[in-house]
Amino acid sequence: MPQADHNALLKRIARERLAPHGMVQQGGSRTFLKDRGWFMVMIEFQPSSFARGSYLNVGADLHFFPREHMAFYCGYREAGFTEARQFDNATILFTDFKGFTQLSEQVTPAELVQELNACFKEFDALMTKYHIEKIKTIGDAYMAGGGLPDPQHGSPADVVRAALEMQDFMEHHKAERNAAGKPYFEMRVGIHSGPVVAGIVGVKKFQYDIWGDTVNTASRMESSGEVGQVNISEATYALVKNEASFTFIPRGKVQAKGKGEMEMYFVEMADHNA
Protein backbone atom coordinates (compact mmCIF):
# COMPACT_ATOMS: atom_id res chain seq x y z
CA MET A 1 0.00 0.00 0.00
CA PRO A 2 1.49 3.40 -0.95
CA GLN A 3 2.49 5.75 1.86
CA ALA A 4 -0.20 8.24 0.82
CA ASP A 5 -2.82 5.55 1.32
CA HIS A 6 -1.51 4.85 4.83
CA ASN A 7 -1.88 8.52 5.72
CA ALA A 8 -5.36 8.60 4.22
CA LEU A 9 -6.29 5.53 6.25
CA LEU A 10 -5.23 7.17 9.48
CA LYS A 11 -7.13 10.34 8.71
CA ARG A 12 -10.24 8.36 7.83
CA ILE A 13 -10.03 6.50 11.16
CA ALA A 14 -9.71 9.82 12.94
CA ARG A 15 -12.59 11.38 11.02
CA GLU A 16 -15.02 8.48 11.29
CA ARG A 17 -14.27 7.08 14.74
CA LEU A 18 -12.87 9.92 16.81
CA ALA A 19 -14.16 13.20 15.38
CA PRO A 20 -17.74 12.54 16.56
CA HIS A 21 -16.39 12.41 20.11
CA GLY A 22 -14.55 15.74 19.85
CA MET A 23 -11.16 14.05 19.85
CA VAL A 24 -9.74 15.47 16.62
CA GLN A 25 -8.06 18.79 15.94
CA GLN A 26 -6.77 19.80 12.52
CA GLY A 27 -3.57 21.86 12.50
CA GLY A 28 -2.23 22.80 9.09
CA SER A 29 -1.14 19.63 7.30
CA ARG A 30 -1.19 17.58 10.49
CA THR A 31 -4.08 15.91 12.27
CA PHE A 32 -3.99 15.64 16.05
CA LEU A 33 -6.08 13.30 18.16
CA LYS A 34 -7.14 14.82 21.46
CA ASP A 35 -7.85 12.85 24.59
CA ARG A 36 -8.03 14.51 28.03
CA GLY A 37 -5.42 17.10 27.21
CA TRP A 38 -3.06 14.76 25.40
CA PHE A 39 -2.31 14.66 21.70
CA MET A 40 -1.58 11.51 19.70
CA VAL A 41 0.48 12.88 16.84
CA MET A 42 0.07 11.20 13.49
CA ILE A 43 3.52 10.51 12.12
CA GLU A 44 3.86 10.12 8.36
CA PHE A 45 4.24 6.42 7.69
CA GLN A 46 7.11 4.82 5.84
CA PRO A 47 5.89 1.77 3.89
CA SER A 48 8.20 -0.56 5.83
CA SER A 49 6.69 0.49 9.17
CA PHE A 50 3.22 -0.78 8.33
CA ALA A 51 2.56 -4.50 8.11
CA ARG A 52 0.76 -5.29 4.89
CA GLY A 53 -2.84 -6.32 5.42
CA SER A 54 -2.63 -5.60 9.15
CA TYR A 55 -4.16 -2.76 11.11
CA LEU A 56 -2.44 -3.76 14.35
CA ASN A 57 0.49 -1.43 13.72
CA VAL A 58 -1.59 1.72 13.32
CA GLY A 59 -0.68 2.83 16.83
CA ALA A 60 3.00 2.00 16.57
CA ASP A 61 3.89 5.32 14.99
CA LEU A 62 1.66 7.49 17.14
CA HIS A 63 3.66 9.53 19.63
CA PHE A 64 2.06 10.79 22.81
CA PHE A 65 2.77 14.26 24.20
CA PRO A 66 1.05 16.51 26.70
CA ARG A 67 -0.29 19.70 25.16
CA GLU A 68 2.59 21.73 26.63
CA HIS A 69 5.13 19.59 24.76
CA MET A 70 3.87 20.31 21.27
CA ALA A 71 6.44 23.08 20.76
CA PHE A 72 9.16 20.47 21.37
CA TYR A 73 7.48 18.12 18.91
CA CYS A 74 7.02 20.65 16.13
CA GLY A 75 10.66 21.74 16.37
CA TYR A 76 11.77 18.12 16.40
CA ARG A 77 9.78 17.24 13.31
CA GLU A 78 11.11 20.21 11.38
CA ALA A 79 14.80 20.01 12.32
CA GLY A 80 15.28 16.48 13.65
CA PHE A 81 16.18 17.82 17.11
CA THR A 82 14.99 20.38 19.66
CA GLU A 83 16.79 22.77 21.92
CA ALA A 84 16.79 21.54 25.48
CA ARG A 85 14.92 23.58 28.04
CA GLN A 86 16.08 24.04 31.61
CA PHE A 87 13.72 24.08 34.58
CA ASP A 88 15.41 25.50 37.65
CA ASN A 89 12.84 24.43 40.24
CA ALA A 90 11.67 20.93 39.41
CA THR A 91 10.75 18.32 42.00
CA ILE A 92 11.41 14.75 40.87
CA LEU A 93 9.73 11.63 42.26
CA PHE A 94 10.99 8.06 41.91
CA THR A 95 9.34 4.84 43.05
CA ASP A 96 10.54 1.25 43.10
CA PHE A 97 8.94 -1.99 44.24
CA LYS A 98 10.70 -4.14 46.82
CA GLY A 99 11.19 -7.77 45.86
CA PHE A 100 9.97 -7.32 42.31
CA THR A 101 12.16 -10.15 40.99
CA GLN A 102 11.01 -12.56 43.69
CA LEU A 103 7.34 -11.73 43.12
CA SER A 104 7.73 -12.15 39.38
CA GLU A 105 8.76 -15.75 40.03
CA GLN A 106 5.53 -16.44 41.96
CA VAL A 107 3.01 -15.32 39.34
CA THR A 108 2.49 -15.73 35.61
CA PRO A 109 3.78 -13.01 33.26
CA ALA A 110 0.20 -11.96 32.55
CA GLU A 111 -0.57 -11.63 36.27
CA LEU A 112 2.64 -9.62 36.79
CA VAL A 113 1.75 -7.15 34.07
CA GLN A 114 -1.80 -6.90 35.37
CA GLU A 115 -0.56 -6.06 38.85
CA LEU A 116 1.92 -3.49 37.55
CA ASN A 117 -0.84 -1.91 35.50
CA ALA A 118 -3.17 -1.72 38.50
CA CYS A 119 -0.53 0.21 40.46
CA PHE A 120 0.62 2.46 37.63
CA LYS A 121 -2.96 3.37 36.66
CA GLU A 122 -3.53 4.62 40.20
CA PHE A 123 -0.26 6.55 40.11
CA ASP A 124 -1.25 8.12 36.79
CA ALA A 125 -4.53 9.29 38.30
CA LEU A 126 -2.66 10.92 41.18
CA MET A 127 -0.31 12.69 38.79
CA THR A 128 -3.34 14.12 37.00
CA LYS A 129 -4.93 15.13 40.30
CA TYR A 130 -1.87 17.12 41.38
CA HIS A 131 -0.83 18.40 37.92
CA ILE A 132 2.44 16.47 38.03
CA GLU A 133 4.13 15.30 34.84
CA LYS A 134 4.58 11.57 34.49
CA ILE A 135 7.90 11.09 32.71
CA LYS A 136 8.10 7.33 32.22
CA THR A 137 8.12 3.88 33.74
CA ILE A 138 11.34 1.89 33.73
CA GLY A 139 10.57 -1.74 34.48
CA ASP A 140 8.89 -1.61 37.87
CA ALA A 141 10.05 1.97 38.57
CA TYR A 142 7.87 5.06 38.09
CA MET A 143 9.28 8.54 37.47
CA ALA A 144 7.43 11.87 37.56
CA GLY A 145 8.22 15.55 37.97
CA GLY A 146 6.55 18.65 39.34
CA GLY A 147 7.27 22.14 38.04
CA LEU A 148 7.52 21.04 34.41
CA PRO A 149 6.70 21.52 31.61
CA ASP A 150 4.59 24.26 33.25
CA PRO A 151 6.49 25.71 36.25
CA GLN A 152 3.18 26.86 37.74
CA HIS A 153 1.94 23.29 38.25
CA GLY A 154 3.14 20.46 40.44
CA SER A 155 4.57 22.30 43.43
CA PRO A 156 7.01 20.48 45.76
CA ALA A 157 4.21 20.14 48.31
CA ASP A 158 1.90 18.61 45.69
CA VAL A 159 4.58 16.10 44.70
CA VAL A 160 4.92 15.08 48.35
CA ARG A 161 1.12 14.79 48.71
CA ALA A 162 0.96 12.61 45.64
CA ALA A 163 3.76 10.40 46.99
CA LEU A 164 1.97 9.96 50.31
CA GLU A 165 -1.26 9.01 48.55
CA MET A 166 0.68 6.55 46.40
CA GLN A 167 1.91 4.86 49.57
CA ASP A 168 -1.62 4.89 51.01
CA PHE A 169 -2.86 3.12 47.90
CA MET A 170 -0.09 0.54 48.14
CA GLU A 171 -0.94 -0.16 51.77
CA HIS A 172 -4.63 -0.73 51.00
CA HIS A 173 -3.80 -2.77 47.92
CA LYS A 174 -1.40 -4.91 49.95
CA ALA A 175 -4.13 -5.62 52.52
CA GLU A 176 -6.57 -6.67 49.79
CA ARG A 177 -4.11 -9.01 48.10
CA ASN A 178 -2.89 -10.41 51.41
CA ALA A 179 -6.47 -11.21 52.42
CA ALA A 180 -6.92 -13.02 49.11
CA GLY A 181 -3.73 -15.00 49.66
CA LYS A 182 -1.96 -13.30 46.77
CA PRO A 183 1.58 -11.88 46.67
CA TYR A 184 1.86 -8.11 46.81
CA PHE A 185 4.22 -5.25 46.11
CA GLU A 186 5.75 -2.94 48.70
CA MET A 187 7.26 0.33 47.59
CA ARG A 188 9.91 2.93 48.32
CA VAL A 189 9.48 6.55 47.20
CA GLY A 190 12.18 9.20 46.94
CA ILE A 191 11.92 12.92 46.12
CA HIS A 192 14.50 15.59 45.37
CA SER A 193 14.22 19.18 44.10
CA GLY A 194 16.53 21.14 41.82
CA PRO A 195 17.31 22.02 38.20
CA VAL A 196 16.72 19.62 35.31
CA VAL A 197 17.05 19.75 31.55
CA ALA A 198 14.14 18.54 29.41
CA GLY A 199 13.90 17.65 25.76
CA ILE A 200 13.30 14.97 23.13
CA VAL A 201 15.97 12.59 21.87
CA GLY A 202 16.10 9.61 19.56
CA VAL A 203 14.37 8.74 16.31
CA LYS A 204 12.20 5.69 17.03
CA LYS A 205 9.47 6.11 19.63
CA PHE A 206 11.06 9.30 20.86
CA GLN A 207 9.65 10.84 24.01
CA TYR A 208 9.87 13.80 26.34
CA ASP A 209 12.51 13.13 29.00
CA ILE A 210 14.56 14.88 31.68
CA TRP A 211 18.21 14.73 32.74
CA GLY A 212 20.56 16.13 35.33
CA ASP A 213 22.01 15.56 38.77
CA THR A 214 18.59 16.30 40.31
CA VAL A 215 17.22 13.20 38.57
CA ASN A 216 20.11 11.07 39.83
CA THR A 217 19.71 12.38 43.37
CA ALA A 218 15.96 11.70 43.36
CA SER A 219 16.77 8.11 42.40
CA ARG A 220 19.19 7.92 45.34
CA MET A 221 16.47 9.22 47.67
CA GLU A 222 14.35 6.27 46.58
CA SER A 223 17.07 3.64 46.95
CA SER A 224 18.13 5.07 50.33
CA GLY A 225 14.57 5.08 51.65
CA GLU A 226 12.47 2.41 53.30
CA VAL A 227 9.41 0.44 52.28
CA GLY A 228 6.18 2.31 53.00
CA GLN A 229 7.96 5.63 53.48
CA VAL A 230 8.39 8.81 51.45
CA ASN A 231 12.04 9.83 51.68
CA ILE A 232 12.90 13.43 50.76
CA SER A 233 16.16 15.30 50.38
CA GLU A 234 17.27 18.34 52.34
CA ALA A 235 16.54 20.48 49.26
CA THR A 236 12.92 19.30 49.11
CA TYR A 237 12.57 19.59 52.89
CA ALA A 238 13.58 23.25 52.69
CA LEU A 239 10.71 23.86 50.25
CA VAL A 240 7.96 22.05 52.19
CA LYS A 241 9.01 22.30 55.85
CA ASN A 242 6.46 25.03 56.60
CA GLU A 243 3.53 23.03 55.24
CA ALA A 244 1.19 22.46 58.17
CA SER A 245 -0.18 19.28 56.61
CA PHE A 246 3.16 17.45 56.93
CA THR A 247 5.25 16.11 59.75
CA PHE A 248 8.92 15.20 59.27
CA ILE A 249 11.23 12.60 60.76
CA PRO A 250 14.89 13.68 60.42
CA ARG A 251 17.10 10.75 59.47
CA GLY A 252 20.37 12.62 59.78
CA LYS A 253 23.11 11.92 57.27
CA VAL A 254 22.47 8.75 55.29
CA GLN A 255 24.94 7.17 52.89
CA ALA A 256 23.71 7.44 49.29
CA LYS A 257 25.37 5.45 46.53
CA GLY A 258 27.66 7.68 44.50
CA LYS A 259 26.71 10.73 46.57
CA GLY A 260 28.25 10.19 49.98
CA GLU A 261 26.34 11.18 53.10
CA MET A 262 23.21 13.26 52.56
CA GLU A 263 20.60 14.71 54.91
CA MET A 264 17.28 12.94 54.48
CA TYR A 265 13.81 13.12 55.99
CA PHE A 266 10.81 10.85 56.09
CA VAL A 267 7.59 12.80 55.60
CA GLU A 268 4.09 11.88 56.75
CA MET A 269 0.68 13.52 56.78
CA ALA A 270 0.16 15.45 60.01
CA ASP A 271 -2.45 14.09 62.41
CA HIS A 272 -4.27 17.20 63.57
CA ASN A 273 -6.52 15.12 65.84
CA ALA A 274 -3.61 13.88 67.91
Question: Distance (Å, rounded) from C-alpha 66 to C-alpha 182?
Answer: 36
How high is the pLDDT of residue 48?
34
The more confident residue out of 4 and 98 is 98
Tell me which residues are annotated as active site. Answer: 220, 257
Question: Domain 85-269 falls in which CATH fold?
Answer: Alpha-Beta Plaits (3.30.70)
pTM: 0.74
**Helix count and strand count (H, E) for the chain:** 7, 12
What is the dihedral sign for C-alpha 65, 69, 74, 76?
A: negative
With a cut of 90, say whether residue 2 has pLDDT above it: no
- DSSP at 108: -
Q: Considering only CA atoms, which of 248, 239, 63 is closest in space to residue 155?
A: 239
Share of the chain above pLDDT 70, in %: 67
Report the C-alpha gap between 217 and 92 in whole angstroms: 9
How far apart are the C-alpha atoms of 221 and 75, rounded to whole Å?
34
- Cite the residue boundaries of each domain of the chain with CATH code 3.30.70.1230: 85-269
Contact between 186 and 228 (Cβ < 8 Å): yes
State residue 101's pLDDT score: 84
How far is the C-alpha of 102 from the C-alpha of 99, rounded, in Å?
Answer: 5
Q: Is-contact 135 64, C-beta < 8 A?
A: no
Q: Which residue, 39, 40, 52, is CA-closest to 2?
A: 52
189, β-bridge pairs: 95, 230
CA distance 31 to 274: 56
Distance CA(145)–CA(17), nearest Å, equals 33
Q: What is the pLDDT of residues 169-207, one digit of tens each?
A: 999 999 999 999 998 999 999 999 999 998 877 666 667
pLDDT of 144 > 60? The answer is yes
Q: Is the peptide bond before 149 cis (omega within 30 degrees of 0)?
A: yes
